[in-house]
Structure 1
Amino acid sequence: MTPQSLVAVAIVGSMHLVGLAMLLALYRLLKGPAVPDRILALDTLFVAAIAQLILFGMHLGTAVYFEAALVIAMLGFVGTVVLSKYVLRRDIVE
């Protein structure tokens, strides 16, 4: 087995594991017992989506997916902050 094929197998295996993590986070998002658990699950989904996009970009050998992952990272951070602020104060705008 050549090193290039070993890396390709590792990337595909990592993509499967990140997909499993996304499914588990989606389950927690839908069945979460409390709102903070659901916010944390949504943040975990954002992080897993970023990882999945980066792995997919590595698999295809293109840089377009890295830019998409950066956009999702920025939107995910802002979304998590806004939801957390809403849960704490029940108001988004001060």
Structure 2
Amino acid sequence: MTPADALSLATLVALVVLGAAMLLSTLRIIVGPTLADRVLALDLLTILAMGFVVAMALRTGFLLYLDIALALALLGFLATIALARYIFSRRLMQEERQR
């Protein structure tokens, strides 16, 4: 087995595992009992998508995919911050209603 074959096999296994994890994360987003569970699953989905893009970059040799992964990381970070603020403001509104 040549190093190129080993890399091809490793990236194929990584893509399969990441794809399965993305499906499970999507299931948690749909079924999640609380909003916080859904936000964490969405954050996990973003991280898994970054890993998927990086594995594709290694498999194909296109380094442009790494820029896409970086943009996806920034977008995921901003989405997590926005959803955290939404949860916080929602909790404050519920506390004001109880007073």
TM-score interval, normalised by the smaller of the two chains: over 0.9
Report the equivalent of 1:53.
Answer: 53
Q: Aligned to 2:33, what secondary structure does the other structure show?
A: coil
TM-score between the two structures when normalised by the length of structure 2 = 0.88
Q: Aligned to 1:33, what secondary structure does the other structure show?
A: coil
Long gaps (5+) in structure 2: 92-99
Structure-2 separation of matches of 1:69 and 1:2: 28
Greater percentage in helix: 2
Aligned pairs for 1:1-94 (under 5 A) are: 1-90=1-90
| Larger-gyration structure (1/2) | 2
Deviation, structure 1 residue 62: 0.8
Structure-1 separation of matches of 2:41 and 2:73: 15
Q: Aligned to 2:72, what secondary structure does the other structure show?
A: helix
Q: How many residues align?
A: 91
> What is the one-letter code of the residue matched to 1:68?
I
Structure-2 separation of matches of 1:42 and 1:33: 14
Query: What is the Cα-based RMSD across aligned positions, in Å?
Result: 1.2
Deviation, structure 1 residue 90: 2.7
> What is the one-letter code of the residue matched to 2:48?
A
Report the equivalent of 2:94.
Answer: none
Q: Aligned to 2:69, what secondary structure does the other structure show?
A: helix
Long gaps (5+) in structure 1: none
Listed one character per residue, the Cα deviations across residues 4-51 of structure 1 (whole Å, up to 9, x for unaligned) are: 201110111011000000000000000000000000000000000000
Which stretches of structure 1, 4 residues or more, deviate above 2 A after TM superposition? none
